[in-house]
């Protein structure tokens, strides 16, 4: 005991001196103090629960201070990393099990720095906005406690230098998302949506658990560093990992499919709209949904190195392609503005996944990066509109352009970025994915087995670009153009809400410029920092053909959207009832996937299957138990009867003996089962004990 | 401090509660305040000494320490042999800790028919039985302690238990819940004990005429206990232990006993009594009969995983909150048994941290269920709802504990579950990896079901608007005695979650040594 208290002291010292870190490349004080990034919000979340109500701004002040700290720290790390790449990894042993250490720690490298920056900056703006949006909420303080926990969980996840910590962060994000989605838990629907999110993620977590176990046990370490070293050393050097890499890689990807809401585990995400809009904004942009893509990015060499999990990439690319295409179509038929954005998030996550599957690490992460800005912007814009018209439905909106100028113009910037129009941010990242797909398809002679697959996926991705532009045009026109169809007088949101909109609109517009192929490759350098263990094979320059095709698709989408939903009063009626026969019911019912899960899986398990088990317990297992008990009791009666007759008949001579015997036997008759039991017990013990001795 | 380390400390920890029970007998029935103070004093002293024990414990030493061995019944070569290693230490501390909290909680929460004196005496006798089991190193001594817990618990359930009428299915016998549950608990456990005692006798006669666990383990590892009879000896022992754990399909006493028992009874049952069985597997079955353990491991593993899935599904069907929590215990103990069945250091470590975590978390859940049914006078989840509005602190603690129970990483429950699954990936040599990996995946699916029933429970109990029948009722949120009992449990749940060394630090070396000693000859 005293020994480990002493140890605890030395760990704290070691942590502040970053003893082990000295071996790795520097990063300086900034990297060695980066443990503050996950720890501060976790501590703050508790502080808000206990003391938030006593603060001048009811806990928001703590939360925003934490996020300001995260934003500044993330930015500082980013700048420092760009000037000289950091690879810092520090772990503290918190227990040893067998001979495997379990550790907490933090890693500071390109991938995690990118996430620190993203979560910090986007998070800060969303928290700022949330103050205005949540004003007057019944559980204002509690909301910011959960929201801080949510951001903190994400930071625990991205700072993880090993599987265990990743899982911890992963589940913290899950549980805090459950709290936030179910924030208005008075409504049964909302708490159901929260449970749906948690359980769908939990299903995927079976994959994460199994994958983490397979990979870690094959390498003999939970550390990412060790796992990636094993991959680097090649299949011959790490035979056990090579043997299990396919299953491990696949299981991990199933885990990623949950958080990153990939088809067919995407169903939780649209329902997650039940939470307050700032939650959707953060959940769909910088946090939570990025976790899956992040995980694949973290484990990327495993998927890319020959002899390991390369086959899984075909699965990844197919899942991503299905997601990007199928969910994009659903967005077309939604009336709820948040649902449109939710399905568009799914679709964009599909793009990221496709990129990862195609081996385009940088392109996938770049899209994650740009998407975080414009999707946060779009959700906050939608929130601003909802705040103003008190409805989520676009059929209650229209013509908000003049009443809400900041919201309108920033929303348009976000939409253009999402649609991938030059020169907005989404254009560059989407184009990079398309170019990488073409590259992977073998046009340039770098066939990787899946050339044909990549070509098909490329076609779907271009079609997806068209769909994206199409539904965003619809959203903009229905919401901001035409005539107002709601009640009351819409008004622009307060300054604390529109300032974050403007602040997010700037990067949404221009941040794509940081990674122009062949010109500025800041982002490529940023995420490729980790001792270049990532053998990225994305396209290294613009691909003229896909660039043009992608742009044409996007412009065509907007044009068609304008033709159908444009602000032309005469077609007002027509545009509200735009339907494609045959396809519409399918989309309206989300391909019946939700229904299948509900009626085909959840209800049967909760109902008949569970009841059958309970019945089995009471009527079969307990039948045996109770039956045996009753049988023993009956046997006791028979013995008693026999004894009475026998004893009375044979030894009638001594009344004393009969009396005493009867007394003992009467005890048996009292019905106290335990007395039978003691007798049976004693008899069995003597009997079998004798047998054992005799043997 | 030498006297403390020579076994006196350990003996005091075990017997102080019993002495307390004796003192209580002398206190007049009317003087309830003095009774409570006395019980608190003795349980508190026992807990404080167990903390001192943890400080006196040499964590660098993997073997048995701080014990003693005195002649007891020389005729059968049975001795008063006690001692602890890293495996028993956390469990000793757990039992004194939970006993103390149970007494604190009881301060103002007495089940009907009142009579604190008798209730406290039973609790203190229980405490001696429980801690004694974890320190005994002689089979006869172990058996005595193991059985000592039966009677107090029988009376607790039978006298202070649930008075609702129930109908036993199939036989259609109408009886009171407490009567049915107490008899079932008693008989079922006794049934198991009979086999266990037989096993002990066989070990005595075949293992060198000794009841000493350490000697038997040394003999067992050398193969002194041949294979023919040993197969059945293990079966008898395992049956006895499995009933106590309880493992599927010997678990049916548990939901009834837990549901019927008064709050404190359920807490002690769940938190500590169940661990006697799993502990016995680790302490007796594996070291003394290692090769037979290996023979039986696949069967145990399969039953463990069936238990996980079966109990989770049964939980989904429950309408009674307390019964749901009771069934969840079967599932959690399934993870513990899966860890043990892998026969690896990782698995056994997982089992022990799983026991401790389950003790604290499920204990807390039973406290909560008890306090809530005390206020609502019902445990039917359909009638609850909106509890978060009526009693926000109670609701928040329930939410936290449910999260801990579903194995949320970062809280205590995670380590036992995850590490048990981890160990199933590479079980001990000689066990089928295919089988255990399948069990691993099925067990992982069990975590989804666990999340399901706990989340739905929270939805039914905590969320939504309160039902109309509670309109106008004043509900007292958590009172100070409840807080005093629960806050330490919450703190421990978080502490072990963040810093599992609190348990693994003690267990790991001892577990590694135990496994190495047991399988030395098997390579």
Determine, yes or no, domain membership for A247.
Answer: no
| Angle at alpha carbon of residue B289, lines to B285 and B292, rounded to 5° | 100
- Positions of E strands within A322-422: none
Q: What is the mean pLDDT of each run of 10 residues along chain A (695 residues)?
A: 44 40 57 89 91 86 92 90 81 88 89 91 92 86 92 93 94 92 89 92 94 93 90 85 91 93 90 89 89 92 85 90 91 87 93 88 90 92 89 82 88 92 88 85 51 83 92 88 80 86 90 79 72 52 81 90 72 57 79 87 88 89 86 84 68 48 46 56 62 52
Q: Label the pairing between strands A100-108 and B78-84.
A: unpaired
Q: Which residue in chain A is spatially nearest to B505 when comparing CA positions? A: A95
Q: Which helix or strand (DSSP H or E) is residue B175 part of?
A: strand B173-176
Q: Scan residues 100-159 of A and list those with Cβ closer than 8 Å to B.
A: 100, 102
Tell me which chain B residues have a C-beta less than 8 angstroms from the C-beta of A217.
Answer: 422, 425-426
Instruction: Say which of B170, B186, B201 has its CB closest to residue A623.
Output: B170
Q: Nearest by CB to B425, which of A203, A214, A627?
A: A214
Of B187, B455, B462, which has the smallest distance from its Cβ to A677's Cβ? B187
Q: What is the spatial distance between Cα B273 and Cα B378, in angstroms, rounded to a whole number?
A: 26
- A206 to B419: CB separation less than 8 angstroms, yes or no: no
CB contact under 8 A, B183 and A610: no
Backbone φ and ψ of A85, nearest 5°: -55, 135
Phi, psi of B210 (to 5 degrees): -145, 150
Contact (Cβ atoms closer than 8 angstroms) between residue B410 and residue B322: no
Q: Could you list the residue range(s) of the whole structural domain that residue A645 is in?
A: 595-694
CB–CB contact A95 B501 (8 Å)? yes
Whose tokens are 């001892």? That residue is B510
Strand partners, A103: A93
Asked if the peptide bond before residue A423 counts as cis, ω within 30 degrees of 0, the response is yes
> Distance (Å, rounded) from C-alpha B463 to C-alpha A189?
11
Domain annotation covers residue A477: no
User: Domain for residue A604, yes or no?
Assistant: yes
Chain A residue closest in CA terms to B249 = A621
Beta-carbon contacts of A591 under 8 Å, excluding residues fewer than 6 positions away, are A326, A330
Confirm or reject contact between A202 and chain B (CB < 8 A).
Answer: yes
Q: Is residue A659 part of a domain?
A: yes
DSSP letter (8 states) at residue A592? G
Gyration radius of chain B over CA positions: 22
Residue A22 DSSP symbol? G
Total structural domains in chain A?
1
pLDDT of residue B307: 94
Measured between alpha carbons, how far is B214 from A515 in angstroms, rounded to an integer? 69
Give CA–CA dist B399/B461, Å, rounded. Answer: 10
- Tell me the residues of chain A between 617 and 636 that have a Cβ less than 8 Å away from chain B: 617-619, 621-623, 625-627, 629-630
- Is the CB of A209 less than 8 angstroms away from the CB of B418? yes
Question: With a CB-CB cutoff of 8 Å, which residues 541-600 of chain A face chain B?
Answer: none
Residue A639 lies in a domain: yes
* Residue A175 touches chain B, beta carbons under 8 Å: yes
Nearest to A615 by CA among B413, B418, B474, B169: B169
**Which parts of chain B sit beneath pLDDT 70?**
521-523
Tell the residue number behind the tokens 């020169």, with chain if given.
Answer: A423
Establish if A688 belongs to a structural domain: yes
What b/e readout covers B124-163, taking b as 16+ CB neighbours within 10 angstroms? bbbbbbbbbbbbbbbbbbbbebbbbbbebbbbbbbbbbbe
Cα distance between residue A66 and residue A148, in whole Å: 8
Distance from CA of B34 to the nearest CA of A (A): 34
What pLDDT digit, counting tens, does each position of B92-140 carry?
999 999 999 999 999 988 887 888 899 999 999 999 999 999 999 999 9
C-alpha A347, offset from chain centre: 15
CA distance B28 to chain A (A): 30
Residue A650: what pLDDT?
58
pLDDT score for B422? 94
The model's pLDDT over A434-445, given as tens digits with 9 standing for 90+, comes to 888 888 776 443
**Chain B residue with minimal CA distance to A618?**
B169
Contacts of A162 in chain B (CB under 8 A): none
Residue A16: predicted pLDDT: 39
Tell me, yes or no, if A695 comes closer than 8 A to chain B by beta carbon: yes
Specify if A655 maps to a domain.
Answer: yes
Residue A431, Cβ density class (10 Å: 0-12 exposed, 13-18 middle, ≥19 buried): buried
Q: Which of A97, A191, A630 is opposite residue B346, by nearest beta carbon?
A: A97
To probe the interface with B, which of A167, A617, A680 has the most B CB atoms within 10 Å?
A617
- Please tell me the distance from the alpha carbon of residue B229 to that of residue A325, in angstroms, as a whole number: 65
Q: Is A510 on the interface with B (CB under 8 A)?
A: no
Q: CA B310, CA A612: separation in Å to the nearest integer?
A: 10
**Record: contact B170-A209, CB cut-off 8 A:** no
Tell me whether residue A653 is in a domain. yes
Which residues of chain A are within 8 Å of residue B198 when distances are taken between CB atoms?
Answer: 684-685, 688-689, 692
């Amino acid at each position: 005991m005293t020994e480990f208290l002493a140890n605890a002291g030395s760990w704290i010292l070691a942590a502040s001196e970053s003893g082990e870190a000295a071996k790795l490349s520097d990063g300086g004080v900034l990297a060695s103090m980066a443990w503050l990034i996950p720890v501060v919000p976790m501590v703050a979340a508790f502080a808000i629960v206990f003391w938030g109500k006593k603060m001048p701004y009811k806990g928001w002040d703590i939360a925003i201070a934490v996020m300001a700290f995260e934003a500044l720290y993330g930015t500082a790390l980013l700048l420092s990393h760009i000037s000289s790449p950091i690879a810092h990894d520090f772990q503290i042993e918190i227990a040893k099990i067998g001979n495997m250490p379990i550790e907490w720690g933090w890693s500071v490298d390109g991938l995690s720095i990118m996430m620190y920056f993203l979560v910090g900056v986007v998070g800060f703006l969303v928290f700022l906005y949330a103050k205005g949006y949540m004003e007057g909420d019944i559980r204002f303080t509690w909301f910011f406690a959960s929201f801080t926990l949510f951001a903190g969980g994400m930071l625990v996840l991205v700072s993880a230098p090993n599987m265990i910590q990743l899982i911890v962060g992963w589940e913290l994000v899950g549980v805090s998302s459950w709290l936030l989605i179910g924030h208005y838990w008075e409504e049964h629907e909302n708490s159901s949506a929260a449970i749906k999110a948690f359980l769908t993620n939990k299903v995927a977590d079976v994959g994460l658990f199994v994958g983490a176990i397979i990979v870690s046990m094959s390498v003999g370490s939970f550390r990412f560093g060790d796992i990636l070293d094993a991959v680097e050393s090649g299949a011959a050097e790490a035979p056990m990992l090579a043997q299990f890499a396919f299953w491990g890689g696949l299981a991990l990807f199933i885990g990623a499919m949950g958080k990153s809401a990939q088809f067919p585990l995407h169903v939780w995400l649209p329902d997650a709209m039940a939470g307050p809009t700032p939650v959707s904004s953060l959940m769909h942009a910088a946090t939570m949904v990025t976790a899956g893509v992040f995980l694949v990015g973290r484990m990327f060499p495993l998927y890319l190195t020959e002899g390991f999990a390369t086959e899984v990439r075909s699965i990844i690319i197919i899942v991503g392609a299905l997601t990007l295409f199928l969910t994009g179509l659903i967005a077309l038929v939604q009336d709820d503005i948040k649902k449109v954005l939710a399905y568009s998030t799914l679709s964009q996550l599909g793009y990221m996944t496709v990129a990862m599957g195609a081996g385009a690490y940088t392109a996938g992460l770049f899209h994650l990066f740009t998407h975080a800005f414009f999707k946060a912007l779009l959700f906050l814009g939608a929130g601003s509109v909802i705040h103003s018209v008190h409805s989520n439905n676009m059929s209650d909106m229209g013509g908000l352009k003049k009443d809400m100028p900041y919201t309108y113009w920033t929303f348009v910037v976000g939409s253009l970025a999402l649609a991938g129009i030059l020169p907005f941010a989404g254009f560059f990242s989407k184009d990079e994915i398309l170019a990488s797909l073409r590259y992977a398809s073998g046009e340039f002679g770098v066939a990787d087995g899946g050339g044909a697959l990549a070509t098909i996926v490329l076609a779907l991705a271009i079609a997806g670009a068209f769909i994206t532009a199409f539904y965003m045009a619809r959203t903009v026109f229905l919401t901001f153009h035409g005539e107002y169809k709601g009640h009351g007088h819409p008004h622009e949101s307060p300054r604390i809400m529109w300032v974050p909109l403007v602040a997010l609109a700037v990067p949404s517009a221009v941040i794509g410029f940081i990674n122009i192929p062949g010109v500025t490759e800041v982002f490529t350098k940023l995420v490729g920092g980790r001792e270049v263990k990532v053998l990225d094979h994305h396209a290294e320059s613009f691909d003229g053909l896909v660039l043009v095709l992608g742009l044409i698709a996007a412009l065509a989408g907007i044009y068609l959207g304008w033709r159908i939903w444009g602000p032309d009063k005469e077609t007002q009626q027509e545009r509200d009832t735009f339907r494609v026969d045959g396809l519409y019911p399918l989309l309206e019912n989300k391909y019946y996937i939700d229904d299948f899960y509900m009626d085909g899986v959840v209800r049967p398990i909760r109902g008949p299957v569970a009841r059958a088990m309970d019945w089995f317990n009471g009527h079969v297992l307990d039948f045996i138990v109770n039956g045996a008990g009753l049988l023993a009791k009956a046997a006791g009666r028979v013995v008693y009867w026999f004894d009475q007759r026998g004893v009375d008949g044979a030894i009638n001579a001594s009344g004393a003996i009969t009396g005493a015997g009867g007394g003992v036997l009467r005890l048996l008759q009292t019905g106290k089962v335990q007395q039978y039991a003691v007798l049976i017990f004693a008899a069995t013990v003597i009997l079998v004990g004798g047998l054992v001795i005799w043997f | 401090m030498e006297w403390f380390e020579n076994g006196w400390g350990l003996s005091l920890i075990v017997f102080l509660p019993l002495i307390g029970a004796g003192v209580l007998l002398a206190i007049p029935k009317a003087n309830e305040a003095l009774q409570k103070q006395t019980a608190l004093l003795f349980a508190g002293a026992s807990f404080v000494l167990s903390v001192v024990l943890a400080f006196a414990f040499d964590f660098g030493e993997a073997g048995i320490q701080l014990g003693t061995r005195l002649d007891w019944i020389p005729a059968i070569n049975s001795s008063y042999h006690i001692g602890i290693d890293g495996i028993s230490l956390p469990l000793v501390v757990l039992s004194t800790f939970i006993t103390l909290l149970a007494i604190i909680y009881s301060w103002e929460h007495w089940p009907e028919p009142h009579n604190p004196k008798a209730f406290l005496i039973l609790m203190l006798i229980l405490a001696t039985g429980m801690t004694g089991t974890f320190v005994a190193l002689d089979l006869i001594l172990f058996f005595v302690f193991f059985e000592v817990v039966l009677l107090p618990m029988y009376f607790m359930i039978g006298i202070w238990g649930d008075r609702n009428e129930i109908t036993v299915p199939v036989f259609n016998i109408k009886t009171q819940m407490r009567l049915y549950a107490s008899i079932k608990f008693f008989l079922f456990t006794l049934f198991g004990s009979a086999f266990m005692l037989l096993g002990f006798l066989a070990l005595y006669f075949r293992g060198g005429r000794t009841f000493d666990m350490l000697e038997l383990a040394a003999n067992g590892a050398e193969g002194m206990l041949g294979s023919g009879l040993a197969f059945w000896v293990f079966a008898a022992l395992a049956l006895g232990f499995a009933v106590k754990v309880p493992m599927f399909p010997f678990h049916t006493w548990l939901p009834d006993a837990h549901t019927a028992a008064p709050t404190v009874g359920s807490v002690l049952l769940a938190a500590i009594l169940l661990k006697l069985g799993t502990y016995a597997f680790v302490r007796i079955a594996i070291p003394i009969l290692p090769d037979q353990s290996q023979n039986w491991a696949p069967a145990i593993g399969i039953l463990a995983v069936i238990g996980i899935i079966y109990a989770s599904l049964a939980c989904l069907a429950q309408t009674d909150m307390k019964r749901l929590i009771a069934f969840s215990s079967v599932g959690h103990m399934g993870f513990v048994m899966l860890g043990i069945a892998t026969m690896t250091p990782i698995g056994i470590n997982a089992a022990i941290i799983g026991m401790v975590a389950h003790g604290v978390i499920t204990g807390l859940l039973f406290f909560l269920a008890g306090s809530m049914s005390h206020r609502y006078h019902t445990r039917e989840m359909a009638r609850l709802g909106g509890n978060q509005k009526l009693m926000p602190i109670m609701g928040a603690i329930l939410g936290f504990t449910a999260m801990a129970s579903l194995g949320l990483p970062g809280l205590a429950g995670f380590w036992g579950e995850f590490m048990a699954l981890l160990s199933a990936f590479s079980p001990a040599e000689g066990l089928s990896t295919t089988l255990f990996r399948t069990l691993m995946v099925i067990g992982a699916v069990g975590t989804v079901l666990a999340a399901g029933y706990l989340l739905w429970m929270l939805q039914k109990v905590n969320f939504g608007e309160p039902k109309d029948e509670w309109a106008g009722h004043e509900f007292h949120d958590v009172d100070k005695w409840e807080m005093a009992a629960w806050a330490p449990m919450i703190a421990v749940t978080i502490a072990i979650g963040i810093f599992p060394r609190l348990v693994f630090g003690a267990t790991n070396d001892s577990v590694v040594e135990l496994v190495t000693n047991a399988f030395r000859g098997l390579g």
